Amino acid sequence: MTSSLDNTPGTGPAAPPTATGTPATTPSLRHLNGQTHAWLQVFACAARHGSFTRAAEELHVTTGAVSQQIKQLEERLGFKLFLRRSRGLELTGEGARLARVVEQSYSAVGLEVKRLRSGLMSGVLRLRSVPSFLSKWLAPRLPRLQARFPDIELHVRAEDSDSPLREGDFELAVDLNDGHYPGMQVTDLMEEEIFPVCHPGLMRGRPPLRSAEDLAWYPLLHDITAWRGSHDHAEWEFYLASIGAPEINVQRGYTFNRNHLSMEAAIAGMGVAMARRTLITDELSRGTLIAPFAQRVLTGKRYVIVHPHGTLDDGRIQAVHDWIVEEAERDRLRQS
C-alpha cells in the first residue's frame, strides 16, 4: 500500500514530482477542466453508493469505466480517494472530505435550479375555452394544475365557439373545430363523439324509444353552438345522417347555447339531448341519464389547443399546455 493512503485526513500526500524533478502543483477548483468535473460526478456517485458497480448501474456505464475515471481523477488531484478493501470500497480521509463538499455543491446547484425554475413558473396566463368544455372537463381538473404550479395565476375566460380567436387576447385557447386556424399553431387533444341521451322517466306515457324513428314522439334539445360554424340543429342533423336514419324533423324543441345546459335540461326530463363523450361524466353510471341507442358517431371535430406562434417559448405557457395534453391523454386511456 502506498504511503499516500496513510496520511492524516486533511494533509494529503505531497504532490508527485514532475519529469524535471519539481513537485507538481495540485490544481485549484477554478482551474479544473470539463473532464475533471465529469470525473467528479462519477466520484460523487461512487462515494454515495460505496460501490463502483452500483455507480455504474446508475450512470449506465461499465464498472471498468467508473474505475478508470476514478483513477484518472486521483491522478489529476494527486491523492487517493478510495481504499479497495475485501469487503468493498472505503473512502480515504481526503476522499470523504471531497465527497462531502461535492455532494453539498451538487445539492446547492440542484436547489438553485429548482428555485430558478419556480421563478419562471409564475405570473398570469390567459386561457380561454369553449364554455361546456371548461365547465365539464377543464374546471374539475384545475386543482391538479394549481397543485403543480401554485405560482401561475390562470385567468380563465369562457367564449363561445363562434367568437373570433384574436392574437393578443390569450396565451392558450381550447376550441372545438376541424383544427384549421390560419396564423395559429394547433395541438390536438381528442376527437368528439356524440350520441342521444335522456332521463329514464321521459319515456313514461310515450312509445318506447328504441330507434331513431321513435324520436318523432319526443321533444328534442339542441346545443346551438355545437362547434365553430355550426347552425342551430347541426348536431341532430349530423347524427341522424351518419347513422342512416330516415328523414326526421329535427327543427323543433328547446335550444341552448351551451352543451352542459342541454344536458341539465335532459336530466330534468325535458327531452332528448345530444351528449358528447368527452363532456358527459358520471350521469350515465348514476342513471340520471340513459343512452337509448347503441350508435355513437364521431363528429370529425376535435378539441384542440390553439396558440399564437412562439407562445410556447415561454416556459410557464409550455408547462400549462403540456399539462392539458397530459390530462387529455389520461382521459383517453381511461376511456379506452
- For position 264, what pLDDT does the model report? 94
**Domains of the chain as residue ranges with CATH:** 3-118 (1.10.10.10), 123-336 (3.40.190.290)
- For position 25, what pLDDT does the model report? 46
Q: For residue 146, give the C-alpha cell.
A: 394549481
CA–CA gap between residue 301 and residue 299 (Å, rounded): 5
pLDDT tens, position by position, 254-303: 999 888 899 999 999 999 999 998 888 789 889 999 999 878 999 888 99
pLDDT tens, position by position, 3-14: 333 333 333 444
DSSP symbol at 172: E
pLDDT tens, position by position, 49-105: 989 999 999 999 999 999 999 999 999 999 999 998 877 889 999 999 999 999 888
Q: Is the pLDDT of residue 15 over 50?
A: no
pLDDT tens, position by position, 222-231: 998 877 777 8
pLDDT tens, position by position, 238-261: 999 999 988 888 999 999 988 889
Q: Is the pLDDT of residue 336 over 80?
A: no
- For position 1, what pLDDT does the model report? 36
Q: What percent of the chain shows pLDDT beyond 90? A: 49
- For position 119, what pLDDT does the model report? 60
CA–CA gap between residue 60 and residue 255 (Å, rounded): 62
Half-sphere exposure of 108 (CA within 13 A, CB side): 6
Q: Is the pLDDT of residue 22 over 50?
A: no
Longest dimension (CA), the chain: 109
The region of weakest confidence among 11-25, 29-43, 315-329 is 11-25
Do residues 225 and 257 lie in contact, with contact meaning Cβ atoms separated by under 8 Å?
A: yes
DSSP symbol at 109: H
pLDDT tens, position by position, 100-134: 999 888 888 876 676 566 566 788 999 999 998 99
pLDDT, mean over the chain: 84
- For position 105, what pLDDT does the model report? 87
CA–CA gap between residue 259 and residue 276 (Å, rounded): 8
pLDDT tens, position by position, 187-230: 999 998 999 999 999 999 898 998 889 999 999 999 988 777 77
CA–CA gap between residue 312 and residue 49 (Å, rounded): 40
CA–CA gap between residue 79 and residue 70 (Å, rounded): 11
Q: For residue 71, give the C-alpha cell.
A: 483513477
- For position 293, what pLDDT does the model report? 85
pLDDT tens, position by position, 123-179: 899 999 999 899 999 999 999 999 989 989 999 999 877 777 888 889 999 998 877
- For position 95, what pLDDT does the model report? 92
CA–CA gap between residue 336 and residue 334 (Å, rounded): 6
Q: How far is CA 46 from the centre of its chain?
A: 33
Which pLDDT band, with edges at 50, 70 and 90, does 182 fall under?
Answer: confident
